[in-house]
Amino acid sequence: MRIDLHTHSTASDGTQPPAGVVSSAALAGLDVFALTDHDTTTGWDEAAAAAAYHGIELVRGIEISCQHQGVSIHLLGYLQDPTAPGLLEELVRSRQGRQTRAQRMVELLSQDLQLHWDDVLEHVDPGATIGRPHIADALVAKGIVASRYEAFAEYLYTGSPYFVPHYAPDPVRAVRLVGEAGGVAVMAHPFASKRGRVVDDAVIEAMASAGMAGLEVHHRDHSGDEVRHGVDLAASLGLFVTGSSDYHGVGKSNLLGENTTDPSVLEQIEGLATGAKVLRP
């Protein structure tokens, strides 16, 4: 069984529509995969139909933007009820915050570069969660940089003069809201220090106390030491460990199935969830 529990589509900052991610997942030989777009579940229905067609199991999920004392944290939620009001309210607020933040960043960039808001909108699907990768795509299309990676390294990194933060809920609150929605919360790439600042273990402990069930330890943004620390910390907090690709289509070099999750962990996720079911063809 090959299980990959973290992927993105054009419902957020991936480059393939949900059905495209599904067909790529089937082609990559995955048996089960999760669609986890940033702050939205709008890709779920298209993914569900495509998963039935391609004969692949689908875990419907989300990656929730959170913030703790200025540090960005990503929380994966699996099999939650997408209509649960508490979580929904926070997601609407985050997506609105992202919209004004992206506009502010483009305003700042346009003072130095030939870039306009319309250039960015060309790369955002209607209703999609907007993020820095869409600004990156516009910079690439304009020939200002060669790739999303270069766009982040030059202009979009956290702390850049063009960087603007956006509203996101506290992670402990987000964990509770996922639980109230019948979902299962897993912290995404908790120690990925190459992305920017990370929180210390006390925050992860507080998230575990609030009902978080797992840590995404096996992820390409973690060093060997970070993986070892994650395995130890998960064991000491009674959390399970997942591994995933964080696939973004051609937006990143992450390959489907490059990290995978043990079938026994998927069983635990299914056992804990009450908001939605794993879809089996």
- For ligand AMP, the binding residues (CB under 6 A) are 13, 38, 131-133, 148-149, 152, 195, 248, 252
Q: Which stretch binds Zn ion (CB under 5 A): 43-51, 58-66, 118-126, 232-240?
A: 58-66
DSSP secondary structure, 59-113, as one string: EEEEEEEEEETTEEEEEEEES--TT-HHHHHHHHHHHHHHHHHHHHHHHHHHTTS
- Name residue 243's amino acid: G
> At its nearest, how many Å lie between Zn ion and the CB of residue 143?
27
Q: Which is nearer to Zn ion, 109 or 198 (CB)?
A: 198
| Token couple for 50 | 């495509």
Which of Fe ion, Zn ion, ligand AMP, none has residue 152 at its interface (CB below 5 to 8 Å by kind)? ligand AMP
* 188 near Fe ion (CB under 5 A): yes
> At its nearest, how many Å lie between ligand AMP and the CB of residue 248?
5
Q: Which is nearer to Fe ion, 3 or 66 (CB)?
A: 66
Any idea what the Cα angle at residue 97 is, between residues 19 and 156, rounded to 5°?
A: 75
Which of Fe ion, ligand AMP, Zn ion, none has residue 171 at its interface (CB below 5 to 8 Å by kind)? none
Task: Give dist(CA 66, CA 63) in Å, integer.
Answer: 9
With CB atoms as reference, the residue minimizing the distance to Fe ion is 74
| Token couple for 18 | 């949900």
CA atoms within a 13 Å half-sphere pointing along the CA-CB vector of 72: 18
Task: Give dist(CA 89, CA 253) in Å, integer.
Answer: 33
> At its nearest, how many Å lie between ligand AMP and the CB of residue 45?
22
* 13 near Fe ion (CB under 5 A): yes
